[in-house]
Copies of this chain bind each other. A is one copy, B any other.
Amino acid sequence: MDYDRVLPRLVRKSDTRILFLVLDGLGGLPHPESGLTEMETANTPNLDALARRSSCGLHDPVLPGITPGSGPGHLGIFGYDPTRIEVGRGVLAACGIGFPLEPGDVAARINFCTLDERGIVTDRRAGRIPTEQNRTLTRILESIDLGDVRLFVRAVKEHRAVLVLRGEGLDAALEDTDPQRTGVPPLQARARQPEAEKTAALVNRFVERAREALGAHAPANGILLRGFDSPAGIPSFGERYGLRAAAIAAYPMYRGLARLVGMDVIETGETLEAEVESLEKVRGDFDFFFVHYKPTDSRGEDGDFLAKARALEALDLQLPRMLNLGFEVVVVTGDHSTPSSLRSHSWHPVPFLLHSPWCVAGVTLAFSERAVRSGMEGRIPARALIPLALAHARRLEKYGA
């Protein structure tokens, strides 16, 4: 599947508009008692009605069997090959707070954590401290002096922050210091290759100073670093597809990912209602609207089956308002599945619907894993979604004579 060889020659302009609605972690698994999935349990009349007027199927964000992180999942549905383009959590998080990364920067995600008197991690999220406290602490950390290397420490939300190092000869090939469990001390930042030794030493010095500076700030008296990464050159989504693309996402990470592929990130609030209002505001200014909805994934990761179903219902209530804005093409899908029984992302293929005037519709009667499986689109790689949306938006020329 190599679209790169044909798409650039086929893309054409049009005044059609595409709504690309991503319900994070959409797919699920049957509840042991009812035998129904979250999607089958939720009462979603608007999604179901849209599915009946759509062409439906399942997509694999990366490859069958591969569980995607948020980065590969979104790259896949945006039409990139996540096995060739990789985005680490550090870069994502930095983009998500609007931090202007430069080539050569090394970014990492910070979690404030709680350490006991022996330096053992007792809470990997420092009791999810308030964001306000996070801002105080990051100002303290940013004042640490690392000599020639500049240091940026920025708050994200609750216990999460971002570290960016800027200077000569930095290398992001470092192992995480987050041990991913409690009861052990944080790990040392280890270089994966000799070129990264200098950066590893700097990071370890930073972590040591941070611990001194945070000593009095329990429960946030330590930090864990992960996802060391430098920004990679990703071909612009807009240029690739001939689209003016807007991103509306309440969560920083998804704004960051959208910015990384060159979408215009629209200011919005922290709720779905705020997202819909933002969509209403910019409806006339763009061709493509990536709207990201996080709660489906969050509730799945919580392992809360019913809350995930409720999150779907909340989205369903807002759907008519979005559809009323008028889009020639509407895609509703997820970046991966997050079954509440697994409490994590999973490898299961992700349901999608694609509505346009050019569908063989009436095949799929509801929007669920089982209902879409025998839809007109079958099972396809996620990378085919945007080309399909472009085709339905009459934005692709015929290939060949």
Instruction: Mark A residues whose CB is within 8 Å of B.
Output: 1-3, 5-6, 10, 29-30, 35, 37, 58, 62-73, 82-84, 86-89, 92, 109, 227, 339, 341-342, 344-349, 358-363, 369-370, 373-380, 384, 387-391, 396-401
A370-B363 contact, Cβ under 8 Å, with A1-B63, A400-B87: yes
Chain B nearest CB from A379 CB (Å) reads 3
Q: Is the Cβ of B339 less than 8 Å from the Cβ of A358?
A: yes
Q: Which listed residue, B73, B342, B399, touches A67 by the CB 8 Å rule?
A: B399
Q: Is the Cβ of B29 less than 8 Å from the Cβ of A358?
A: yes
Chain B nearest CB from A276 CB (Å) reads 28
Among residues of B, the one whose C-beta sits closest to the C-beta of A345 is B398
State A1–B344 Cα separation when bound (angstroms): 24
A360-B30 contact, Cβ under 8 Å, with A62-B6, A379-B378, A391-B67: yes
Q: Which listed residue, B2, B347, B390, touches A65 by the CB 8 Å rule?
A: B390
Please indicate which of the listed interface residues A6, A30, A86, A109 has the most CB atoms of chain B within 10 Å of its own CB.
Answer: A6
State A184–B27 Cα separation when bound (angstroms): 53
Which residues of B are found within 8 Å of A390, using beta-carbon distances? 65
Among residues of B, the one whose C-beta sits closest to the C-beta of A91 is B401
Q: Is the Cβ of B380 less than 8 Å from the Cβ of A69?
A: no
Which residues of B are found within 8 Å of A347, using beta-carbon distances? 388, 391, 396
State A181–B388 Cα separation when bound (angstroms): 27
State A344–B399 Cα separation when bound (angstroms): 12
State A344–B370 Cα separation when bound (angstroms): 33
User: Could you list some 24 contacts between A and B, CB below 8 A?
Assistant: A5-B84, A37-B360, A58-B376, A63-B384, A64-B384, A65-B390, A65-B396, A66-B399, A67-B391, A67-B396, A68-B398, A69-B399, A71-B401, A109-B401, A341-B358, A344-B398, A345-B398, A360-B370, A369-B376, A373-B374, A373-B375, A377-B379, A378-B379, A379-B379
Which residues of B are found within 8 Å of A87, using beta-carbon distances? 400-401
Q: Is the Cβ of B373 less than 8 Å from the Cβ of A376?
A: yes
**The 10 residue pairs across chains A and B that have the minimum distance between CB atoms:** A89-B401, A65-B387, A378-B379, A69-B400, A64-B384, A72-B400, A347-B391, A65-B391, A65-B388, A374-B374
A361-B30 contact, Cβ under 8 Å, with A5-B83, A63-B387, A378-B58: yes
A6-B227 contact, Cβ under 8 Å, with A342-B358, A358-B346, A400-B72: no
Please indicate which of the listed interface residues A341, A374, A396 has the most CB atoms of chain B within 10 Å of its own CB.
Answer: A374
Q: Is the Cβ of A400 less than 8 Å from the Cβ of B64?
A: no
State A360–B384 Cα separation when bound (angstroms): 24
Q: Is the Cβ of B67 less than 8 Å from the Cβ of A398?
A: yes
Which residues of B are found within 8 Å of A29, using beta-carbon distances? 358-360
State A139–B373 Cα separation when bound (angstroms): 58
Which residues of B are found within 8 Å of A379, using beta-carbon distances? 377-380
Which residues of B are found within 8 Å of A380, using beta-carbon distances? 64, 379
Which residues of B are found within 8 Å of A401, using beta-carbon distances? 69-71, 87-89, 92, 109, 227
State A341–B361 Cα separation when bound (angstroms): 15
State A87–B370 Cα separation when bound (angstroms): 39
A373-B369 contact, Cβ under 8 Å, with A69-B398, A87-B401, A346-B358: no
Q: Is the Cβ of A10 less than 8 Å from the Cβ of B66?
A: yes
Chain B nearest CB from A335 CB (Å) reads 11
Which residues of B are found within 8 Å of A398, using beta-carbon distances? 67-69, 344-345
State A40–B362 Cα separation when bound (angstroms): 14
